[in-house]
Amino acid sequence: MTTVPQADLVIVANRLPVDRVTLPDGGVSWRRSPGGLVSALEPVMRANDGAWIGWPGSADEDEFDPFVEDGLSLVPVSMSSQEVEEFYEGFSNGTLWPLYHDVVAKPEFHREWWDSYVSVNERFAARAAEVAAEGATVWVQDYQLQLVPQMLRDRRPDLRIGFYLHIPFPPAELFSQLPWRRQILEGLLGADLIGFQLPGAAANFVRLVRSRVGHKTHRDTIYLPDGRPVRATAFPISIDTAGFEELARSEGVAKRAEDIRSALGNPKKIFLGVDRLDYTKGIYSRLRAFGELVRDGHIDVEDAVFVQVATPSRERVEQYRILRDEIERLVGRINGDEGRIGRPAISYMHSSYPREEMAALYRAADVMVVTPFRDGMNLVAKEYVACRYEDDGALVLSEFAGAAQELRQAWLVNPYDIDGMKAALLEAYAADDKETGRRMRAMRKTVVQHDVARWAADFLHELETLPEHHDKATRKPHAG
């Protein structure tokens, strides 16, 4: 095993920020993954001799040696196919994901999944302990690694440890279903700073720590008996706003946006949905609402089309296969009933696209429809706003997406209320330029001021300046 370089900043995430590509000659190369997290943390990592720990994405491989790709120090962690099934598809996405998303689907609780979750978290913690320099900052990312902070603190009490949860954190009534609720809470309390998307999620966590573990708390601070304070607070994540706007303004994207409109028959209005194919995203309900508007004569297929991009997701999981079949049947039924030759009501694509194509779709779309049943943030809504540099376009947004807390000028909807959603879609469809311009200007101001670089800088600054000790009288934690 190659000696691992010591790093002053260590990012620990489920995946590495690169995807493995097999070349025609059988060799291996790496391609940078798309996504705002990589863009936000790359300059910080370069400035701090940073390292990124994560899984390379393939199972049953021997542990890769650490390597450098495009100047980034990357440290792989291996996983067996059984661990991918039990830790990733099982506990992470069959237990935690639905539980944390308001039980939109029923979570499953299996002890062997939990055992795998513990062992994989231990492997990540051990790797981080090996890579981190003396007194380094370690920033652990997301729900797959909630035990890592305390496991890492046990090994390396000299470190500053931050944790960020990218998805919602549920209220006590839901979280308490989890048989391993105490272990998760105590795992997270290994961090000095725990970041959430919304203040309500942070408050849920603090309340649970007080009631389930018994630690003393005050507002967003938890006072541990060993004298260490833990802060739990909101840091709403964002996007590379300037990068998206620059892309949207580019000649190639402008031309592609025109081509998309032309390929769709130059309708008066294009509605757009862009989502990972997931039961939390509300795709079925939104398409049903649009189909009813067409059926009832409120929208004519000669005037408007709904483009839905559904990026493939977790295709080995049965629930996702069922969802895909349901959506494809619905699209077929609506197009069969309401479409005309060359004019489908819905243009549906089950595929993933590069950033340039997404920017062109955002530029082409007159009405962006983002209607999840529950979402930690939803960056698609912010990406659309960033690309509307002419202050035009309308955003219909679920009030249960974290982004609704910031993008208040969107047409906010309850995705469970089909009639309410239809009314909002019609309003956005019929809104004049003055109305859409007023709303879009305000939303653009928000995403420009609060971009992903500021998010990362704010979190790391808070982590570095937190007091290391408190002098509060504490109570003994609850037993069990």
Domain 241-450 in CATH 3.30.930.10? The answer is no
Alpha-carbon dihedral sign for residues 54, 275, 249, 407: negative
What would the pLDDT profile of 360-383 be if each residue is shown by its tens digit? 999 999 999 999 999 999 999 999
Q: What is the pLDDT of residues 394-438, one digit of tens each?
A: 999 999 999 999 999 999 999 999 999 999 999 999 999 999 999
Angle between the N-to-C axes of helices 379-387 and 355-364, in degrees from 0 to 180, rounded to the nearest 10: 70
- Kindly give, in sequence order, each residue whose CB lies less than 8 Å from that of residue 262, ignoring residues fewer than 6 positions away: none
Q: Which amino acid is at 480?
A: G
In this model, does residue 452 exceed pLDDT 70?
A: yes
Q: What is the spatial distance between Cα 149 and Cα 273, in angstroms, rounded to a whole number? A: 36
The predicted-structure confidence for 119-128, as pLDDT tens digits, reads as follows 999 999 999 9
E strands, 338-455, in order: 346-349, 367-370, 394-398, 411-413
Where residue 331 falls among pLDDT bands split at 50, 70, 90?
A: very high
CB 346 within 8 A of CB 331: yes
Go through the chain and tell me how many residues it has: 480
Could you tell me which residue, 63 or 328, shows the higher pLDDT? 328
Whether the pLDDT of residue 1 is over 70: the answer is no
Q: Is the CATH number of domain 7-237+456-465 1.10.3720.10?
A: no
3-class SS of residue 170: coil
Domain spans in the chain, listed from the N-terminal domain onward: 7-237+456-465, 241-450
Q: To which residue do tokens 């099982």 refer?
A: 90
More confident residue, 32 or 258: 258
Tokens (6 digits) for 407: 């993008």
Angle between helices 181-188 and 148-155 (to 10 degrees): 50
**One fold for both 7-237+456-465 and 241-450?**
yes
| CB contact at 8 A, 331 and 296 | no
User: Which residue's entry shows tokens 């757009």?
Assistant: 272
- Tokens 């795998």 label which residue? 116
pLDDT in tens, 179-219: 999 999 999 999 999 999 999 999 999 999 999 999 999 99
